[in-house]
Amino acid sequence: MASFRPMPHRLGRLSLLATVLAYPLLAQEARVRPAEPMVMPAPADSNSPAFWRDDRLNWFGSTGQVLLSEGLNQFGPFDTGRVELTAAYPAPHWMESVWTDEERNVWGWYHAEPVGLVEGTTLTAPKIGAVWSADGGKTLQDLGIVLESGDLNDPTAQNGFFIGGHGDFSVILNQERTHFYFFFGNYGGAPESQGVSMARMALADRFTPAGRIWKYHKGDWQEPGLLGRVTPIFPVRRPWQLRDPDAFWGPSVHWNTYLKCYVMVLSHAAGEPGWSQEGIYVSFCSNLDKPETWTPPARILSAAEIPAWSSFYPQIMGLGPGDTDSRAGKIARLYLAGASTWEIEFFPKAVATETPTDPLPAEPPPEEPPTAEPPPTATPAPPPSANPVPPPKLVPPH
């Protein structure tokens, strides 16, 4: 998708105190507030991952061509250059997640978009691949495709960009340092299989990742990363084949050192055109091995508080030493489409405020015939609240 840089704008009253009251058992909360405007050093058309090397922040940006920027911290100044990617899979690439080991190797994962799938169009079905670098990310060696959909592509899909595939993702190593967990959008197949999905790979398998990743399906991790089935953790309400899908997408996950849990921010597409931004949402989880424990996404920014319908790719960037898009503390920066006009603050306990945000709206219950006389103790149920995933990338998503 083409890069988009929103201009600073005046935030409404809700942005001054956008509060999420999440899963009561864990009681995490996030509040968004205005901050001095800033932009990433390179165009952003995906999650833009970062890592530290020699006390310098290295930050990838992608629009089909991968760039790497190096600076003192996320506020710059930066030196930016093109990255040499020795690609085994010929297609435009977007670097979307990275991790570094003790030997200073950089391990990364990219979103690739095959071309020419539907003659005369730019429609595509993304795949996810892995790379390795020994020189700080300046050159990347392709390790091959590691996540690919097994569903047939649907060339009649009307969302404008994707006819299937897996993409728009992030990857994080769990705190036990046993597995990498992948969070990605599944854009094809039966409606019940579409949505934000997960897969995992053992840390030791990073050297030869193809065929070593397993998707989450029906409560287990036994479906192969290549062509296997998925069970979404956040399924779509309306499938991606339609002109007006209703779905979460673009998950960006970090470990929050203050909350001691994982935090996901993601977009919610609802209505026409097919990737229209309805809001930005947050979810929490303490155990990545149990995908069902992610809290229901709760909105932290509404459409009215977002610069444009096409402001995609929410991500967090931590502000502390060593913090990145995959690690942050109590206060961090929230970015959309490569620009930040917000700080986000996390709280371990729910705090009552005058402007709580709405959780994802529930489907309205079916109407029932009126009863002659309701029970004396019955009270009317509150009406369901209303709310809800991947990109028109201003230029084809990604």
Instruction: Give the pLDDT confidence of 319-329 residue by residue, as tens digits.
Output: 999 999 999 99
User: At 380, is the pLDDT very low, low, confident or very high (cuts 50, 70, 90)?
Assistant: very low
CA-based nearest residue to 393, from 326, 343, 338? 338
9 occurs within a structural domain: no
CA–CA distance, 237 with 156 (Å, rounded to integer): 19
Position 382 in a domain: no
In this predicted structure, what is the pLDDT of residue 349? 66
pLDDT band at residue 15 using 50, 70 and 90 as cut-offs: very low
Question: Is 117 contained in some domain?
Answer: yes
302, 293 Cβ separation under 8 angstroms:
no
Higher-pLDDT residue of 33 and 391 is: 33
When pLDDT is cut at 50, 70 and 90, the band that residue 86 belongs to is confident
pLDDT for 233 equals 98
- Residue 136: per-residue pLDDT: 96
Structural domain boundaries enclosing 250: 15-347
CA distances from 146 to 156, 173, 206, 225, 227 (A): 26, 16, 11, 6, 10
CATH number of the domain bearing residue 29:
2.115.10.20
Q: What gap in Å lies between CA 316 and CA 340, rounded to an integer? A: 10
Answer whether residue 88 is part of any domain.
Answer: yes
Confidence at residue 360, expressed as pLDDT on a 0 to 100 scale: 52
Strand 139-147 to 84-86 pairing: parallel
Residue with tokens 């200073």: 104
Above 80 in pLDDT, residue 352? no
CA-to-CA distance for 325 and 172, rounded, in angstroms? 10
Tokens coding 241: 């084949």
Tell whether 378 is covered by a domain. no
Is residue 36 assigned to a domain? yes
Query: At 13, is the pLDDT very low, low, confident or very high (cuts 50, 70, 90)?
Result: very low
Strand ranges across the sheet with 331-336: 18-19, 29-39, 339-347, 331-336, 315-318
Give the global pTM: 0.83
Query: Angle 265-239-91 (CA atoms, 0-180°, nearest 5)?
Result: 70
For the sheet containing 84-86, what is the strand order?
A: 84-86, 139-147, 127-133, 106-112, 93-100
* 42-49 mean pLDDT: 95
Residue 203 lies in a domain: yes
Q: Is residue 369 part of a domain?
A: no
**How many domains is the chain partitioned into structurally?**
1
